[in-house]
Amino acid sequence: MQTIRNLGRVRFPAAAIALLMLTCGTSSSAWCASKNLWISTFDGPIESYTSKQLKKSGMPTPIGLATAGPSHGLAFDQSKNLWVSIHPDHSEVVQFTAAQLKDLKNDPNPTPAVVISTDSTVVKDLSGCNFDSEGNLWVADAGNGSLDELSKAQLAAGSADELTPNIVITSADLVEATFVTFDKAGNAWVSDAGEDTIAEFSASQLTSGGSKPATVVLNTNLCPEELVFDKEGNLWVAGVCSDTVVEFAKSQLVSSGSPTPSITLSSTIFGDDEPSGVAFDSEGDLVVTTFEDGTIAKFTAKQLKVSGAPVPKVVVTGAENDNNQIIFGPAF
């Protein structure tokens, strides 16, 4: 049942530190200075909340960005352009420029500056996306069970029709690739909501396509969705089936197995509303959003030290339901 639901949902090395500061907003760079919170939604526009709007509970009005299809993945490049993966009606990746984002209050329905339609024989249902330290965009393909790279050169070339990704990695360890993030060493970590696993692919494996075994596979009982590293290298994961957000400690990520999360957070805010998105702000607070009702909850860094059911510091009633990926990115 979980697989059917997800498919129907439209659904760094030291040298990279300077780039990470420029690409604030990708989940791999979640600890850089946070600005606006950007949220992709299944049924509505992409939402953008200011840092001020997230300082207290309430129902603030976000800035909206309309897309031609259900948005899933979000990632900002070095120039503050926003790249969006559209899933599943269109297997497309589109770009909105920084100038367009700056003018959203006047034009909330801009035409994408770049539209890349991917090869439908290779790419099926694009899901979450993220940039690596070299400026290549990696997209989890839920329908194909693959991890696809659109190279920096392919993105720079502009709009394209039936484009074959530069790299397509398949694996017996991937069935429904859902989200992807990168650790400081450049290894990719992919959540698989259908297989109920999290798989690591080493940086060396990401240099070419083909069928490859994951270097680490973590079995979970989460139906894992978005995942993000904290400053210490611990991996935080939204559990859409477990209605929890969990931490796997850095020490638990070195080998395959079925580890018990080092920290498990539950909350009445989650209920049966399925936590789906996670992102850290610059203060180390964790923001969580739910799929069913679009609630946005902020937990302080202190609340993340032990397992339990803490009361969020801030609860924002989202303008849209069916939230997918969330990232901190630039304010315009």
Q: What SS3 class is residue 67?
A: coil
| 180-209: pLDDT as tens digits | 999 999 999 999 999 999 999 999 999 999
Q: Which domain holds residue 60?
A: 2-329
| 212-242: pLDDT as tens digits | 999 999 999 999 999 999 999 999 999 999 9
Q: What is the pLDDT of residue 24?
A: 43
Q: Is the bond into 312 cis (omega within 30 degrees of 0)? A: no
For the chain, how many structural domains are there in total? 1
Model's pTM, two decimal places?
0.90
Pairing of strands 160-163, 114-118: parallel
**How far is CA 296 from each of CA 58, 169, 274, rounded to the nearest angstrom?**
10, 33, 12
The whole-angstrom separation of Cα 83 and Cα 79 is 11
Residue 95 maps to which CATH number?
2.120.10.30
pLDDT exceeds 80 at position 95: yes
Query: Dihedral (C-alpha) 96, 100, 103, 104: value to the nearest 10 degrees?
Result: -20
